[in-house]
Chain A
């Protein structure tokens, strides 16, 4: 059974995200598995960082996002790049979540506030040589203007192009470049003396 599933999924490895979405609309489960494998962790990481490492909420939103792909695969415009579309949906989910929290009067996870997160609540299961650096970076990112930190994360964590980021954040490429420059300059200076050496166990 496992071998059968594996073979079923290997078939879809070579297809683009956009082609996979067409297969999904036609009910091909292997295509859905492939899209999930490509994006689940990336989106989860993005959601966590935008929700101040609330992994429970990030899991819920991740599930909602993939349910949307299952229930309404045609809501994705195949002329667009899938990566831009999926991150736009994820980004909007975060904005809505922060709005809901505001209405409820919750101050935690306020998207517009400069909050500081607890680095120990990281979703990483293993420590590695980058852990202290990443924790510090996450702390500093959360102190930045959310739009600047989002641009920075999409560019260097999710490896998206300037064009894709401008689509996700619905702003000009010039704005993206300007936000990116300011965020990078600030963060690079703040983390200049940070110890990035491996942890000695």
Chain B
């Protein structure tokens, strides 16, 4: 046998006795080693594999080891989860504040628009869209397109009664 393991020979040793080899396999084996050496290696390797499997199966790892590891696993990922939790809380809080601010501003603007319309109504004078936009600081397009109470009120007003209303 050459001074290096031949993988094909090893596989034959592990799977077949010399008697079970085909003619072709026997020729291959005999080109590398003798029948006696083949049998010696085959018996030995099969015993090692069987005995090792048996030994690993019967091996007992310290009983508390798995429990400690599971604890460590949960601790590690709980930490990660609480980090993610804190981050999402901060994001939610920031988003809520932004929403509250926007609604407040929008309400503020609506109140201002209402007051402007009332003022002009009370003064009994005409108001142009430009004037409305300027005094309420609302975008012209929005002012024209807006489908809220103020715009509705504005649009239903009889502007012809107002002096100086420019279309």
Contact = CB atoms under 8 A, between A and B. Distances in A.
Interface stretch (A35-43, A94-102, A110-118): A35-43
A100 to B, nearest CB: 21
A156 B61 contact: no
Most chain B CB atoms below 10 A, which of A32, A67, A188? A188
Contacts of B58: 124-126, 128
A144 interface: no
B69 A130 contact: no
A91 interface: no
B67 to A, nearest CB: 11
Given A41-B61, A67-B69, A157-B52, A188 B4 contact: no
Contact of A71 (B56, B57, B60, B76): B76
B156 interface: no
Contacts of B52: 45, 134, 156-157
Interface string B39-61: 01100110111111011111111
Given A29-B70, A189-B40, A191-B44, A45 B59 contact: yes
Interface string B102-134: 000000000000000000000000000000000
Main secondary structure of the interface of A (DSSP, over half): helix
Contacts, number: 110
B48 A181 contact: no
B3 interface: yes
Nearest to B78: A27
Interface of A: 27, 29, 32-33, 36, 40-42, 44-45, 48, 59, 62-63, 66-67, 70-71, 123-126, 128, 130, 133-134, 137, 156-157, 159, 162, 174, 177-178, 180-182, 184-185, 187-189, 191-192, 196
Contact of A177 (B4, B56, B70): B4
B48 A59 contact: no
8 contacts: A29-B73, A42-B56, A45-B52, A71-B76, A130-B55, A178-B4, A178-B5, A184-B41
Contact of A181 (B4, B50, B57, B66): B4
B65 interface: yes
Say which size band chain B's interface belongs to: 35 or more
Nearest to A59: B62
B55 A36 contact: no
Given A66-B69, A125-B60, A184-B45, A29 B74 contact: yes
Contacts of B59: 41, 44-45, 48, 123-124
A48 B58 CA distance: 14
